[in-house]
A = this chain, B = another copy of it.
Amino acid sequence: MTTTDWEPVSGAVLPRYAGVPSFMRLPYVPEGDPRRAEVDVGLIGMPWDGATSNRPGARHGPRGLRDASTMVRAMHGATRQTPFKSMRCADMGDVAMSPVDQDDALAAAEAAVAGMLAHDIRPVMVGGDHLCTLTVLRALRKHRGEAFGLVLLDSHTDLYPPYFGGKTLTHGNPFRQAIEEGCLDPHRTFMAGMRGTSYNKEDIDYGRDKGVHIVEIEECMARGWASVMEEARAVAGAGATYVSFDIDFIDPAFAPGTGTPEVGGPTSFEALQCVRALRGLDIIGADLVEVSPPFDPSGGTCWLGASVLFELICAMER
């Protein structure tokens, strides 16, 4: 098996809208497939929105992103990277997550990522809501045996206290939980883009108390994104770092298809530049979450999400 077998078919051969849609037309390598041993970077879907506090639909995210991502071509327009040549990337399929049982769903997801890590596959998780990220962080923590850094691009910190009285975990607190569980090193945790109304800013206060670097939107806009991302690189440093991208980081004019949109965010151009600025970090995993196709009538959010995914993969090239 040569590297060529891992490259997606070109849109000049099979039109982009044709064919069974795997992520970016990559080979589909489900559990049990012998090619797993060769995969470098694995895209894995978590079609689950069981921790969503507002509008649902992120369970349809992996399907929507697979569809849109067949429009991605092989070469990065600006950097001329060809990540599918330099790395063996694959679609690992979706985790079977129960839509009605949070505990089961999270356990299944963590196990699936653990299975990838056992093969030294770097995970690129496609959500699903943001609590899905916690399962990747947990698996990485167990696999690596120590905490790691985080760069989060999002309109929310996801450091909120539990709400609704019951279950501790929602899509509003994966990073608080991950800090409490020792997955993340808060001093190497960087967050940018936060905005919108707030219950009480307790999340930001909590994060800063722990040492998390949080740059709210007013500061981002005032300083410019290049400066913000320079800080991100400095905070993450040379150590192992996870990158999480919530599609609601981007202004809802560009990304309406999400559950908890916050107006007043960056453009798609700025968002892609932010991801591109992460090249050179030691990225041990990444995700794109909270794309909700039922709220995306023109399909633009899925297409933007697919573009972000490609940018993430390019940033992971070593």
Contact = CB atoms under 8 A, between A and B. Distances in A.
B296 A294 contact: no
Interface string A1-34: 0000000001111111111111000001000000
A60 interface: yes
A73 B160 CA distance: 13
12 contacts: A12-B53, A15-B47, A77-B196, A77-B217, A98-B167, A100-B164, A104-B164, A252-B300, A264-B272, A264-B307, A295-B298, A296-B298
Contact of A269 (B59, B66, B217): B217
A199 B22 CA distance: 18
A35 interface: no
Nearest to A80: B201
Contact of A96 (B14, B22, B54, B303): B14
Contacts of A199: 10-12, 73-75
Contact of A17 (B54, B167, B269): B54
What 9 pairs across the A-B complex have the smallest Cβ distances?
A12-B163, A101-B166, A104-B166, A98-B164, A73-B197, A56-B56, A294-B294, A101-B167, A264-B269
Contacts of A22: 20
Contacts of A251: 253-254, 267-269
